[in-house]
Amino acid sequence: MVKEWHTAFPTSSHLFFMIHCQDNVRDYLSKSGVALDVREKVLRLLFGADSTAVSNCAAVFLSNGDFLNDLH
């Protein structure tokens, strides 16, 4: 999918990088044996519309981090 996005938006390096990071996180969580529902929630918290990756607010970043800390 990264290749397709890069072809469609060749000058958008940030978009390309975020998709690449999301794919890497998804692969890592899958290979690590993380349950599907947890993987989906982590990906949503990191890369969703109101996510840590796009947050300009420390409160959003910290609240998303609380969930990630609970996984250990």
pLDDT digits (tens, 9 = 90+) for 14-24: 777 888 889 99
Distance CA 23, CA 5 (A): 13
Count, residues in the chain: 72
Query: How many other C-beta atoms can be found within 10 angstroms of the C-beta atom of residue 39?
Result: 17
Q: What is the pTM assigned to this prediction?
A: 0.62
pLDDT score recorded for residue 42: 87
pLDDT score recorded for residue 7: 78
pLDDT digits (tens, 9 = 90+) for 40-56: 988 888 887 666 666 66
- 3 vs 21, higher pLDDT: 21
Across the chain, mean pLDDT equals 76
